[in-house]
Structure 1
Amino acid sequence: MGAPRRGAFTEESAEVEVLFANMERMKGLTKKIQGSLNRLETSGKNVQEAIGPIYGNTQKLQVMTSNVDRIMDAIDRIRAPLDQTNREERIIRAGPRKTNLQDYIASLDRTTVALSDLKRSNLRSNQQAVTELSALLKLGTKQLEDVFRDILRDGASKTVEPLEYVAKNNPFPLIAQDKISTLRLINTHMSTSFAQISQTDVRETPTQKIYAEIRGDYMMASLRNLAAATVSTARKIQADALYKSGTNGIGTYAQGMEGLFLAEYENVCPIFAREEWGAVYTATCQASLGEFNKTLRELNGHIQRNLVTDCFLGYEIMDIVMRLAIGLETKTGELKIPVLETLKPIRETCKASLGQLMTDTQTRISTLVALPMDGASVPITTDTMSRLQNMTNYLSPLSSILTSLGDRGWSANPANTSNTSIPTLKSFDVGADGKKLFASYVADAIDRMLQELDGKARAMLKGKSLQGVFVANNVAIVDRMIRSSELQPLMGGYANKLESWRKKGTAMYLEAWREPSGHLLDVQYTNRSGRPHSGGAATTDSTAIVKALNSKDKDAIKDKFKNFNMSFDELVARHKSYKMEREVRAQLAKEVQTIIEPLYGRFWDRYHEIDKGKGKYVKYDKGQLGSTLAGLA
C-alpha cells in the first residue's frame, strides 16, 4: 500500500513544479510584451508629432487652391461683360436706322443684362465700367426714342378735318399697322428697361410721354376749326331771338371729338401694355379736353349774357356733353370724369336760368305801360309758352338740374342751392320723378304769368268784361300751346288749374251781361187773372197778359224792352269789337246765349204784344235774337 501511494505523490509533485516553472516564463513574457507596447506608444507619438504639421499644411493648400479657382472664375465672369461691351458698342453706336431694329433692341437687352451683372458684382474696380456701360445704354435708348418720335411725327404731320368724317359718317384714320408694330416693339423694350437705368421712381416712361405729346397735339390741332366754329355759331343776328336746337356747332364738335378719341384708343391699345392704356390714353386726350373746356367757358359767357334766350344752348350743351361722356365711358372705360368736369360752369348757369326765366316774365309784364284795348293777348304769353315748349327738347339735362334743385328749388337763391358736384349718369335718366318735377316747374311758371297778367288787367283795363276777355285770351293761348306740343302728356294734371283760370275769365266777362238780363225779369202777381199757365210758352197768351196790365205796368214793360234793346245792342257791338281767340269767342258766345236766350224767350212770349207788332219797343223776335246771339261766335 505504501509504495504505490508514494509513487503517486511523487508524480503530482513533479507536475506542480512544471506548472510553477511555466508561470515564471509567462511573467517574463508579459513583461516583454508590456515593454514592447510602451516602446510602440512612444514611437506613435513621435510619428504623430512629425506628420501633424504636414497634414495641416496640405489642408491649407487645398483651401487656397479652391479660392484661387473661384477668383479666376469671378475674373472670367467680370471680364465677360466687358468683352461683350466692345461687341455691343459697335451695334449701338451705329444706331437703329443702320441695322435691323430687332437686332438693335436685342443688343440693348444684352447690354442691360451686362450692366446688371456688373452692378451685382459690387467691385470698386468695376465702377468705371458701370459708368461707361450706363452711358452707352442711355445713348442707345435715346436713339430708340428718336425713332419712336419720328414715326409718330410722320403719322401726325398732317391733321385731319373731323367735319368731313362726321358728315359722311366715316371712321377716323388710324396709324398704319406696320408702324404700330414698330412702335409696340420699341415701347415693349423701353418699358422693361427704363426702370433699370432710371435713378428715380418715374411712372411715365419716355415712350408714353412722347406719344401723349405728339398725338395729343395732333388731335388738338385737328379739332381747332370745330372749336372756333362752335364759338362763332353762338353769335346772334337778332338779339332777342330764341335759340333753336342744333344751330350751334357744339354737336359737330362733340361728334368730331368722340370720333378722334375713339380712333386714338384703337391706336393706343396695340402699342402699349394693358396696364398702360388708361394713363397713356388720358394723357393723350388731355390737351384736346383743355381746349374743349376753354370753348365751353366761352359759350358759358355768351349764355350768361343772353340767359333768357340762350339758356337752351346751355341745356343742349349739357345733353351733348353728357352723351359724349357716356359714349367714351362705354367704349373705352375712360374720360367720363374729365369730360363731365367741363360741364360745371354751364351747369350752374343752367340752374340759375330756371328762376331767371320766371323773373323775366314777371318783369316784362310789370313794365308794360299799356294793354290792348280790344282785350287781345300780349306777346309775353306766347313767348313764355314758346320757351316752355322748347324746354321739352331738353328733358334729360333739365331732369338732372331739377333733381339737384328739388321741387320749387328754382325759386330759391341759387347761391343756397348750388351744387358744384358733377352730374352722374343716373341723374340724366328722365324717369317719372324728372317728368313730375318738370311739370311742376311749368305749372309754376304758367301760374305766375297768369297771376301777373290778371293783376295788370285789373289795373290797366276798364271794365270787368274787357278784363275777362283779356284773361280768357291768354288762357286760351296757354291751353292751345300745351295741347299742340310735347307739354300735353306732361301737363295732364294741370287741366283743372287751367279750367279754373278759364272760368275766372268767363265770369268776369259775363258780369257785363247782368244788365240786359235784369231787364228781362218782371214781377208776376199770383192773384191776377192774367197769370200764365205752367204749360210754358206754348200756352202763353201775350195778348191776354198785356191786356190785363194797367197803364203803369205797360209802361214798365215798354221801358224794359227799350232798355234791353239798348243794353243788348251795346254789348253785342262791344263783343264784336273785342279781339278774341277763336275758342274764346265761341265759348263766350255760348255762355251769353245760354243766359240771354231763355230769359228773352220767356219775356217775349209774355209781352211781345205790347207794341202790337209795330217793332217800336220789341226790336227782336225770338228768331232774330237767336240769330244775333249765334252771330257772336
Structure 2
Amino acid sequence: MDDEAAEIELLEQNLNKTKQISQRMISILTNFDSRLNKLEQSIRPLHSSTQLLTRRAGNIESTLQRIDEVASRQDGIAAEEALILRGPQPNQLRAYTDALERLNTSIAFKASDFDSRDTARLVETGAKKLTQLYTKLVAEGSSGVPPGGPDFQPSPIPSTLLNTLRPLVAFLRTLPLPATHPSHAAAPGIFATLKDAQRGYADMRGSWSRKCLETEGRRVVDRAETVDGVSGGLEFGLWVDNLLTVAETEYDLLSELAPLPGSSILPTTFAILITPLGTLFSSTLSSLSALIKRSLHRHTFLALSTFNTLSTLQSRWDDTMLRRAGRRENELKEGLHGLRGVCLRSFPEFLADIKLAAAPKAGGEISVGIADITVSTVKYLNAIPDVQDAVASALLTLGDGNWKMGEGMQVSKGPKLGEGDEQIILEHYLCNVLSTLTTISRSQKRPTFGAVFLLNNVSYLRTHLLLDEPPRASTLLARPAQDALHSAFRTAKAGYFDAAFTPLMQALGDEPNARGGVSKAVLKEKFTRFFDLLEEVVERHRVARVLPDDEEARETVGDEVVRLVVPSLDRFVQKHRDKEFSKNPQKYIKMTPEEVETQIRSLY
C-alpha cells in the first residue's frame, strides 16, 4: 500500500509540472501570433504593389512575343506567296505542295490574320500552276513520232514522267472542292480548273492514241488489196484488237492520273478520250468497205473474214467503248451491219458469176482447160472453213434458198431454218454452188471438146474438194453433195468416152451384105474410117489435153480407153485378116493393135 501511495504522489507531481510547462508554451505562442499579425499588416501594401507589377510585366512580355510571331508570319506568307506565284518546279514539287497545304490549313483553322479571301485566291492560283505542270507533263508524254512497223507497239506515258505525275495527281486530288469543302472560297475555281485539265488530258491522250494507230490502219487497208481475203480480214481484226488494247490501257491510266476520279466524271472523260479512236475505226472500216464494194467478187472473203473477226470482238468492244464510257454510239455494231449487207449480197452474186461463166459465148475460142470460174469456185469453197461461222450466220439471215435470187423454190421444204441450223443451211448453199457449176460444159458447142472440158473441170472439182489432203471443203459438203460430185465425174468420163471413141467403135461394127458376109469394099472402108478417126482423135487430143493436172487419173482414163478400143480392134483384125480383102492389107491396116495401144497411151 505504501508503495502505491508513493507512486500516486509522484504522478501528481509530474502532472503539475506538465501543466506549468503547457501554460508557458501557450503564453509564448500567443505572443508570437500577435507579432505575426503586426508583421502581416506591415507588409500587405508592399505585396499588393508587387503583384500588380508582376502582372504588368507578364502582359508586356506576351505582347512582345505576339508582335514577333505576327511579324514572322507576315514574312512567311510573303515568301510563300512568291513561291506560289513563281510556279512549281518538277524537282521542288514537295516544297510547293507543302506551301499550299499550309495556306489551306490557315484558312480552315483561321490561324492567320491574313485576309482569308486573298489566301483563297493564292490557293487557287497555286492549284492552277499545278494543273499547268500536269498538262505540260501529259503533253510531253503524248507527243513525238508514234511507233511504226507491222508489230503493234503501245506508246504509254514514259516512266520518267509518271514518276512526277503520280505524286502531283495525288496532291491535286486533295485540293478543296465544293463537294468536300463547301465553305472554301477557292473550291469552285479549283474544281473548274481541274475539270478543264482532265478534259485536256483526254483530248491529248485520245489524239495521241489515234496517231499511234492511224498509220497501221492505213497499212492494213492497203495490204488488203495484195493478200488473200481471209488474211486481210484477220489483219484488220488484229488492228481492231490493238485499238481495244489501247483503249483499255488508256482507261487504266486515266483512272490512275485523273485529278477528278469520281464515278460521275471519269466516264465522261473516257468518252472524250476514245472518241478519236471510234472515229478512226469508222473511217478505216469505211475505206476497207469501199475496197470490197468496188470488186465484191474479188474481195468476198475479205468481207466475210472481216465480219467474222469483228463479230468475235463485239462483247469486248461493248465493255470497253460503251459501258466504261457511258456511250451509246456503237461504231462496231454499225460497221458489222454494213458488212453483213455486203456479205449477204456476195452469195447470189457468186452464183450469178458462175451462171455468167457457163453461158455460151458466141464466137469464143475453143478451150478445154480448167475454167477460171472452176478455179475460183474451188478456192471459194476451200476458204469457207476459215470463215464458216460468218458464212452460216449470213446465210441464215438471208434465208434458205434466197441466194437463188428468186429463180426457184427454197432448197429445204421443211420448217424455216434458224439458230442451230447453221450446218444445214451451209450444206444447202454449197450444194447449189456445185450443181450450178456443173452446167459450165454447155458453153462448148462442139460435143467432143465439151466432153473434155466437162471432164477436166469436174475432175478438178472432185480432186481439190474431196480428195486433197488435208480435207477442207469436204468437211462441209453433205454426203449427197459428195456423192453427186463423184457421180458427175463418172458421168463426165462416160460422156468423154462416148464423144471421143464411140465413132471409132462404130467404125468396127459388122455390116453384112446380102449373102451374110462383109464385102471387101466395106472392110476397106471400115479400116480406112477407123484409122482416119483415130488420127482425128490423136490430133484433137494434141489440142485438148485430158486431165492435164492429174497424172494418176489421166493414166486410169488411158487404161480404160485401151480396154475399150484395142480389144475390139484386135478382134476385128483377127476376124477379117485372112479374107484377102486387099492385095496390100497394110495399106488399110496401118497399125497393129499393139501400135494403136501405144499411140492411145501416148495421148495420156
Q: What TM-score do the two structures reach when normalised by structure 2?
A: 0.64
Structure 2, unpaired ranges of 5+: 1-75, 407-417
Q: Distance in 1 between matches of 2:485 and 2:555?
A: 18
Matched, 1:285 2:271: no
SS of the residue aligned with 1:307? coil
Q: Distance in 2 between matches of 1:618 and 1:585?
A: 28
Q: Distance in 2 between matches of 1:450 and 1:253?
A: 40
Structure 1, unpaired ranges of 5+: 1-86, 115-128, 414-426, 526-548
SS of the residue aligned with 1:245? helix
| Structure 1 position 627, deviation (Å) | 3.1
Structure 2 vs 1, CA of residues 566 and 611 (structure 1 numbering), >3 Å: closer, same or farther?
Answer: farther
| Structure 1 position 474, deviation (Å) | 1.7
| Structure 1 position 467, deviation (Å) | 1.4
Letter in 1 for 2:280: E
Letter in 2 for 1:510: F
Matched, 1:603 2:599: no
Q: Distance in 2 between matches of 1:391 and 1:586?
A: 32
Matched, 1:154 2:125: no
Q: Distance in 2 between matches of 1:331 and 1:291?
A: 16
Letter in 1 for 2:441: D
Q: Distance in 1 between matches of 2:455 and 2:255?
A: 66
| Structure 1 position 235, deviation (Å) | 6.5
1:267 alignment partner in structure 2: 253
Q: Across the two proteins, how many residue pairs are aligned to each other?
A: 481
Q: Distance in 1 between matches of 2:433 and 2:109?
A: 76
Structure 2 vs 1, CA of residues 181 and 412 (structure 1 numbering), >3 Å: closer, same or farther?
Answer: farther
Structure 2 vs 1, CA of residues 487 and 371 (structure 1 numbering), >3 Å: closer, same or farther?
Answer: farther
* Selected match of 1:100 from 89, 96, 99: 96
Matched, 1:450 2:438: yes
Q: Distance in 2 between matches of 1:142 and 1:353?
A: 59
Equivalence map 1:108-257=2 (5 Å):
145-156=131-142, 158-163=143-148, 167=151, 172-173=156-157, 176-187=162-173, 189=175, 193=179, 206=196, 208-233=198-223, 245-246=231-232, 250=236, 253-254=239-240, 256-257=242-243
1:481 alignment partner in structure 2: 464
Matched, 1:579 2:545: yes
Deviates more, 1:87-96 or 1:178-187: 87-96
1:376 alignment partner in structure 2: 369
Letter in 2 for 1:471: L
CA deviations over 1:74-107 (Å, ceiling 9, x no partner):
xxxxxxxxxxxxx999979946738532663685
Contact 1:227 1:253 in 2 (8 A): yes
| Structure 1 position 357, deviation (Å) | 2.9
CA deviations over 1:262-310 (Å, ceiling 9, x no partner):
4323312333558466554443222122122112212222221222223
Q: Distance in 2 between matches of 1:131 and 1:409?
A: 77
Q: Distance in 2 between matches of 1:191 and 1:231?
A: 48
SS of the residue aligned with 2:545? coil
Contact 2:504 2:533 in 1 (8 A): yes
| Structure 1 position 206, deviation (Å) | 4.8
1:514 alignment partner in structure 2: 502
Equivalence map 1:603-622=2 (5 Å):
603-611=572-580, 614-622=585-593
CA deviations over 1:513-533 (Å, ceiling 9, x no partner):
3333234444899xxxxxxxx
Matched, 1:624 2:595: yes
Q: Distance in 1 between matches of 2:363 and 2:556?
A: 26
| Structure 1 position 132, deviation (Å) | 9.6
2:484 alignment partner in structure 1: 497
| Structure 1 position 404, deviation (Å) | 3.3
Q: Distance in 1 between matches of 2:302 and 2:181?
A: 50
Letter in 1 for 2:545: K
Q: Distance in 2 between matches of 1:569 and 1:306?
A: 46
Matched, 1:295 2:257: no
| Structure 1 position 253, deviation (Å) | 4.4
Letter in 1 for 2:506: G
CA deviations over 1:23-62 (Å, ceiling 9, x no partner):
xxxxxxxxxxxxxxxxxxxxxxxxxxxxxxxxxxxxxxxx
| Structure 1 position 466, deviation (Å) | 1.8
* Selected match of 1:401 from 391, 394, 397: 394
Structure 2 vs 1, CA of residues 370 and 554 (structure 1 numbering), >3 Å: closer, same or farther?
Answer: closer
Letter in 1 for 2:141: G
Letter in 1 for 2:594: G
Letter in 2 for 1:211: Y
Identity of aligned residues (%): 17
Contact 1:112 1:193 in 2 (8 A): no
Deviates more, 1:401-410 or 1:280-289: 401-410
Q: Distance in 2 between matches of 1:312 and 1:616?
A: 62
Q: Distance in 2 between matches of 1:207 and 1:616?
A: 106
| Structure 1 position 219, deviation (Å) | 1.5
| Structure 1 position 111, deviation (Å) | 5.9
Structure 2 vs 1, CA of residues 614 and 325 (structure 1 numbering), >3 Å: closer, same or farther?
Answer: same
> Which structure has the greater CA radius of gyration?
1
Q: Distance in 2 between matches of 1:207 and 1:432?
A: 52
1:567 alignment partner in structure 2: 533
| Structure 1 position 469, deviation (Å) | 0.8
Cα RMSD for the two superposed structures: 4.8
Contact 1:454 1:471 in 2 (8 A): yes
2:343 alignment partner in structure 1: 350
Deviates more, 1:516-525 or 1:105-114: 105-114
Matched, 1:308 2:289: no
Deviates more, 1:499-508 or 1:226-235: 226-235
SS of the residue aligned with 2:373? helix
Structure 2 vs 1, CA of residues 624 and 611 (structure 1 numbering), >3 Å: closer, same or farther?
Answer: farther
Structure 2 vs 1, CA of residues 631 and 159 (structure 1 numbering), >3 Å: closer, same or farther?
Answer: same
